[in-house]
Structure 1
């Protein structure tokens, strides 16, 4: 186990590992226990009572956080005709057609964080699926990144839309903001995301759905949240 720094050990003393904190307390604690000099990201980790090996127990979706993530998101839109202008008007950083596919393919260009594509471009996008997939950049209808409503998709992404998806270990990890947001804004983002995850509970999931809920800052100690007191 890696040796913990002095700042981490001091912060960890503020957190009782045996306690399940209510949401407000957890957000206050997570901001107090930040150990970095920079504005740390606050991450939510939720362990679910599902078996991701079964298709009917997948948990995946998107939601727009009320206060965004605190991160500037660069958006590339692949589209045709007027949809390119629509994307640019909505604030896309890059918008175009096959020239961007070739740029990715030939120049290994990845100066973007989110790729949105219209359905009629997916045949072309498929050519670079092998390089987009491992980077988590492949557009998908379930995440709202394959759509003809490119203007809306760009605006939501820029406003703080996040995607949540259960991994092989039945855990969802999503950033909910920065320490500088303060407890109140973090709590609003937290509740917005948790409500979306709770609503996405698969019908096939049996037993306790929220196994554990934890928030932590970059390199900071985890703060466990009382899952039974989350729903609005």
Structure 2
């Protein structure tokens, strides 16, 4: 039964020949229509008008990416040093830590290298150097300060763990004979000699001399480098000198800064530096703005 059929009196409804078709006598002068045609008016508002308007008429703004409240708070290096020193007033022997975050694009290697700071914050650990060499190169490596020098006879001792070292150097003539046996042993530890790192060389003695007085630094899998950079009781000038020197070394290792000795810099992918943060043991991490 339709809506109009419910509202109209039965005497005023005439059913047509076609099923479902209804005719009404809506003459206002008809006495039955005036007396008996009462209909309640219902609202015709759309039930989901608000939802419909939100979906089609009003465009909401895009959500902004969630960022840290400290992202906009950056300081110069000198100001950061003073702030951290004030916060560590009760710990004069605390250490400044420098954190450098890199972008690590696809195909880039984990940043690593060696550095000699103008003023070291702690005593340098001494490397135990093993050199795979023979003949004249072996004699020169011994005079330069290598701890262990030998040829293929050292391979089994290194593979079994009986011979330990923190730095491995090899001459090009011996690298092929040791790589098959030691690649799986030294490779995962980052100790396998390689030409890219400079540890496969005919001048093992010169490489050892260049290493004297330096320490190794290395980033993690995400490309983040962390290193102690100075003590809080150092003069501000010494802290600034250490920080700028270390960042210069990292920029060169990541391809962000070229040196005159670089012949083909375009072949090396650039691993951009995204953040430089200075912190202390109890102080916050402060983003540096002027480096």
Task: Give the TM-score, by structure 2 length.
Answer: 0.55
Instruction: Give, in whole Å, the separation in 2 of the partners of 1:78 and 1:41.
Output: 38
- Deviation digits for residues 91-142 of structure 1 (CA, Å, limit 9, x no counterpart): 22222222332211234432x2211211222113311111111222111222
**Secondary structure of the structure 2 residue equivalent to 1:188:** helix
Within the candidate set 241, 257, 281, 1:188 is matched to 241
Indicate which of 175, 200, 218 corresponds to 2:227.
Answer: 175
After TM superposition, the structure 1 = structure 2 runs for residues 156-167 of structure 1, keeping only pairs within 5 Å, are 156-160=210-214, 162=216, 164=218, 167=220
Partner deviation per Cα, 1:8-52 (whole Å, 9 max, x = no partner): xxxxxxxxx67434334555638985999xx8876543212342x
Aligned to 1:213, the other structure's residue is in SS state strand
Of the two structures, which has the highest relative contact order with CA contacts closer than 8 Å and spacing of 6 or more? 1
Q: Deviations over 1:186-207 (max 9, x none)?
A: 543432231233341387669x
Indicate if the aligned counterparts of 2:230 and 2:242 stay in contact, CA closer than 8 A.
no
Residue-by-residue CA offset, 1:48-100 (whole Å, 9 max, x unaligned)? 2342xx22x44646353244673223222221211112112222222222233
The answer for the alignment partner of 1:116 in structure 2 is: 169
Distance 1:49 1:80, change over 3 A: same
Counterparts of 2:173 and 2:217 in 1: how far apart (Å)? 23
1:62 matches 2:113: yes
Paired residues of 1:65 and 1:189 also in contact (CA < 8 A): no
* Structure 2 CA distance for aligned equivalents of residues 21 and 216 of structure 1: 12
Contact 1:90 1:151 in 2 (8 A): yes
| Matches of 2:232 and 2:137, distance apart in 1 | 36
Contact 2:186 2:192 in 1 (8 A): yes
**Structure 2: 5+ residue stretches without partners:** 1-69, 257-264
- Give the total of aligned pairs: 203
Change in Cα spacing, 1:106 to 1:205, as seen in structure 2 (3 Å) is closer
Structure (1 or 2) with the greater helix fraction: 1
Question: Is the 1:78–1:96 Cα contact (8 Å) retained in structure 2?
Answer: yes
CA distance in 2, matches of 1:49, 1:192: 21
TM-score normalised by length of structure 1: 0.67
Residues 1:94 and 2:148 aligned together: yes
Q: Establish whether residue 210 from structure 1 lines up as the match of residue 263 from structure 2.
A: no
What is aligned with 1:154?
208
* Conserved 8 A contact 1:70-1:177: no
Corresponding position of 1:223: 285
Structure 1 unmatched runs, 5+? 1-16
Separation of aligned partners in 2, 1:133 and 1:43: 29
**Contact conserved, 1:86 with 1:151, CA < 8 A, in 2?**
yes
Q: Which residue of 194, 202, 212 maps to 1:140? A: 194
- Kindly indicate whether the alpha-carbon contact (under 8 Å) linking 1:34 and 1:220 is maintained by their aligned counterparts in 2: no
Compute the RMSD of aligned alpha carbons. Answer: 3.8
Structure with bigger gyration radius:
2
